[in-house]
Structure 1
């Protein structure tokens, strides 16, 4: 068992690597078989950090194209996810962006830039109020809709007059809904934990059909939630990718992160999905099931020959050679069992399908 069990595990670790999973701690494949609760971080894990432009609401005499062009030009020097989303939408529409004459950025509020003699302000409702620009009645319905559903609304004002707003929605990873459905079939309890506000977190949970969620959490509160679940007797797998997830990743029985996550998360997590998606998650659980079954077969292989050896010695007067030969059969069976993962058609077919 000291030889055969590690040999089996090495083969399963090799299979994991071929399926975009780097398992840094071999015990994970044993612990996963006991996991009954999965806690997902929201932003960057279930959703991409960058949202997408869903709609452009205009008021006054400006068109949606002009509004997007002004906003993209104002955000041209910014690197945050909202700025990237606005610029990508402008690129998709093949808009030529005018150069900036002047720009000023107020952290947490918005941008004030000069373009061709016009003053363009892009930012939050709070920024517009600070600049003395009121939300026009035509935008009130869009504002209420976005607030009720947890969407982001970026306001654009031209020369001190409200021009409209850009509505951005979170981008859910395309594989998430199918994966959540498969995890439910395994009878797992699912949680969403987020530092975001209550409304967008609840909206995502409802869309994915996850009943349990916790919003507006600090990094240490995420770890406290996991510790609380574990104190209740649950075995928890936490999946996160941010700096603020490091404590929770360390606290959970099993921790998973994605390629492209923060360095702290990559260093702390026990499992890394190298393709940057959640697609390998189901394979990880199936692999853990196979490891458990393989180890059980090892026990059977090593001890099944013992009754036959004893019967042979006392009933059929086996000599040393026959006894040793019969006992060795169990050893060869164990070796075959250790090598069986390599020849498992399920994993070979899956690896070929993923282009490994």
Structure 2
């Protein structure tokens, strides 16, 4: 109730119910009800809901004087209060109005309360709309975005979606796959028709005349050109803006081959006899179709990679709950997360995700914060302790006060950091594109010069010779081998990596891995196993062996939901220890567990539990436990009745491969820095054990992100290895992100490299593979460019004045094919390398 009008309405509503006399207090928000006969609470609640959003809350007073708030009465959806929205307000979505219509149809911009009756205003509901915009991955025009998918008007590359909205599917990728399938379907017949003539006793030569064969090639090539028309558009854009790139070469070469072939098919008489063979002029429809289809294959792979740009963010969004339990003066109510405001009281039940950042007001519980800190052991939280959105409540209910909502929460900030980091870096410019910047204008200049010289100095008909030789230059310059040089090596290299448990997403990752000089690594799940395990059990009694104590502690943990309980159960299974039934099991939150095992009263927990049951821990034992804790380990005491019979040391075990891998990285001159959310003692113990150069402890996701940014500002090439949600922003920001395949989906999607076995030793494999692949790519580029270097002058007619030789396009096609075969064979050599 917010005003005296509410009080009056509630009082009148209750008194209208038969056999009831009610008096309502606004100040105390209480209703004193006298009943002649018992009336069900649900009847009272339904009557109130018909008049407004008034929730009846029952409070039970126990004999000891304590009060307990009972759950609100369950009411069906149709009985809930639904304010009527005037028809003239239907198009005012997001605005507010008074449900009492005190000022008629008047609407308000914000929920300031009705100026007449003081009631909370109701918001006119609106469908939730999330807009997706697109941006160029090369950031040609800075942060400029576009409303629709397509190509960048500057460089012609595919625009990439920039949105955190969860899309059911990526339509761009789906459409490109469809085009690729159709393009392949039409390219294969063109290839067979063209190359079939070179095979002796080919039945096609008997069925089809040469002319009919050419017409069929033309008909099958047109659909391929249609499906790949976007490449010609990109080429045109690159020339308009003079931002020359690979599409400039592809569009120019394919267009030249297509135009030449079409004219040669329909107007063969305009060409000199030198260009005519036994079956007329050689056509290049198969070259056009194959080139365009190969380029489309590369673009589909790129589109698939871009379609996963937002996948990490989608996985993060799944962590955020959609609703919360709001505690009001009238009871409890389920509300959407976006409607939570600062200061709201929220109830969080066992197993629920914490809706927003805040502080515990009442109660205590164990919170699983592994998705934020990366640490596997749930953290005990009590009154006044901070809690974080997206983390998971353990086995107790508590009430929290919302402090940070919406974009202010840590989870929202992580989402934003991943989003910003993933789009803040432009893709590494491929070597072929760098060369193309100079190569394209050079080819164009040579073609123009060829045309001019043949027109001025060539034999008759000069115009035809000039046109044909200029086209020959463009055809022979078509970068078929150049287009294969990088993707072939990358394809084979990625396949080789996958065979060795290393998944690499793109060529940029392969190139960058060869240059890294700093490795930032998480601790939990990367250098360590990522889960606590029983390291040792110390017996302090002559009656019990360590195995006896394991049996007692594991038996007791059968009924526990605590994360540490799994460590005891796993150890017992490892040693084939039989477990006994437990009676009178008690879980003391924040302290430990107790129960009857084999007729013995057994307690397992921390010093607080020992103090609770009246046990004094000796100074000597405290000193022993302190030494273990300084090494970042967890100590649990085991007691029978009121005597400590031993203690258990638990530790997140270091992976066997971690030490050798760090040694190999040091040999390559790579600095290793560990950044972890764990405490300094644990961090130092792990760093000392592994010989790590430096470490940062108690780090939040933004701390990891900032550390990487600082190193990058110093000119360092930084790799980040991690496995948790808390590592996602850092993985996205690093020059190369390396995730453990045993980690979270968010970490995997935020990284460029995934180590399937979850073994850090894979980093050394990545670096070695990177070196070999980059070496192979440079060799391929040599084969591609040496062909162009020799072929273009010959196509321009440099041999004609001395030898009278004009390069036939047929010879140019064979040379181009040889260049492509050289690139393919050289790339396949990568299959033989040992990682």
Taking the aligned partners of 1:298 and 1:343, their CA distance within structure 2 comes to 12
SS at match of 1:220: helix
SS at match of 1:216: coil
State whether residues 255 and 271 of structure 1, in contact with CA within 8 Å, keep that contact through their aligned partners in structure 2: yes
Larger relative contact order (C-alpha < 8 A, sep ≥ 6)?
Answer: 1
1:42 and 2:528 are equivalent in the alignment: no
Q: Where in structure 1 are there 5+ consecutive unaligned residues?
A: 351-356
Between Structure 1 and Structure 2, how many residues are aligned? 349
* Cα distance, 1:327 vs structure 2: 9.6
Taking the aligned partners of 1:109 and 1:246, their CA distance within structure 2 comes to 33
Residue aligning to 2:786: 304
The residue correspondences of 1:153-164 to structure 2 (distance < 5 A) are: 153-164=635-646
Taking the aligned partners of 1:334 and 1:122, their CA distance within structure 2 comes to 70
State whether residues 615 and 643 of structure 2, in contact with CA within 8 Å, keep that contact through their aligned partners in structure 1: yes
1:31 and 2:503 are equivalent in the alignment: no
Residue aligning to 1:354: none
SS at match of 2:564: helix
1:275 and 2:275 are equivalent in the alignment: no
Taking the aligned partners of 2:507 and 2:787, their CA distance within structure 1 comes to 29
SS at match of 1:313: coil
State whether residues 484 and 820 of structure 2, in contact with CA within 8 Å, keep that contact through their aligned partners in structure 1: no
Residue aligning to 2:727: 245
* Cα distance, 1:110 vs structure 2: 2.0
State whether residues 294 and 337 of structure 1, in contact with CA within 8 Å, keep that contact through their aligned partners in structure 2: no
Residue aligning to 2:534: 53
Cα 1:265–1:62 change in 2 (3 A) is: farther
State whether residues 56 and 165 of structure 1, in contact with CA within 8 Å, keep that contact through their aligned partners in structure 2: yes
Judge which range, 332-341 or 32-41, deviates more.
332-341
1:149 and 2:634 are equivalent in the alignment: no
1:211 to 660, 672, 693: 693
Residue aligning to 1:236: 718
Judge which range, 37-46 or 294-303, deviates more.
294-303
State whether residues 594 and 604 of structure 2, in contact with CA within 8 Å, keep that contact through their aligned partners in structure 1: yes
SS at match of 1:34: coil
Cα 1:318–1:222 change in 2 (3 A) is: farther
Taking the aligned partners of 2:825 and 2:615, their CA distance within structure 1 comes to 71
Taking the aligned partners of 2:585 and 2:573, their CA distance within structure 1 comes to 21
Taking the aligned partners of 1:138 and 1:339, their CA distance within structure 2 comes to 71
Taking the aligned partners of 1:140 and 1:82, their CA distance within structure 2 comes to 21
SS at match of 2:525: coil
Residue aligning to 2:660: 178
1:17 and 2:17 are equivalent in the alignment: no
* Cα distance, 1:19 vs structure 2: 1.8
Residue aligning to 1:8: 489
Q: Deviations over 1:306-339 (max 9, x none)?
A: 5555599379657332898589657634542344
1:313 and 2:805 are equivalent in the alignment: no
Residue aligning to 1:223: 705
State whether residues 236 and 252 of structure 1, in contact with CA within 8 Å, keep that contact through their aligned partners in structure 2: yes
* Cα distance, 1:197 vs structure 2: 1.0
Residue aligning to 2:41: none
Q: Deviations over 1:23-73 (max 9, x none)?
A: 223321122222211111101110102344333222245412332222111
Cα 1:329–1:293 change in 2 (3 A) is: farther
Which one has the largest radius of gyration?
2
State whether residues 302 and 331 of structure 1, in contact with CA within 8 Å, keep that contact through their aligned partners in structure 2: no
* Cα distance, 1:276 vs structure 2: 2.9
* Cα distance, 1:201 vs structure 2: 1.0
Cα 1:95–1:71 change in 2 (3 A) is: same
Judge which range, 4-13 or 321-330, deviates more.
321-330
1:332 to 807, 818, 825: 818
Cα 1:236–1:109 change in 2 (3 A) is: farther
* Cα distance, 1:132 vs structure 2: 4.1
Taking the aligned partners of 2:745 and 2:589, their CA distance within structure 1 comes to 25
State whether residues 35 and 235 of structure 1, in contact with CA within 8 Å, keep that contact through their aligned partners in structure 2: yes
SS at match of 1:246: helix
SS at match of 2:582: coil
* Cα distance, 1:194 vs structure 2: 0.8
* Cα distance, 1:91 vs structure 2: 3.0
Residue aligning to 1:103: 585
Cα 1:339–1:113 change in 2 (3 A) is: farther
Residue aligning to 1:256: 738
Taking the aligned partners of 1:327 and 1:118, their CA distance within structure 2 comes to 89
Taking the aligned partners of 2:828 and 2:780, their CA distance within structure 1 comes to 16
Q: Where in structure 2 are there 5+ consecutive unaligned residues?
A: 1-481
Residue aligning to 1:192: 674
Residue aligning to 1:291: 773
The residue correspondences of 1:118-133 to structure 2 (distance < 5 A) are: 118-133=600-615
Q: Deviations over 1:210-231 (max 9, x none)?
A: 1211111112212221222222
Taking the aligned partners of 1:100 and 1:107, their CA distance within structure 2 comes to 18
Taking the aligned partners of 1:308 and 1:196, their CA distance within structure 2 comes to 61
- Give the TM-score of the pair, scaled to structure 2: 0.39
SS at match of 2:637: strand
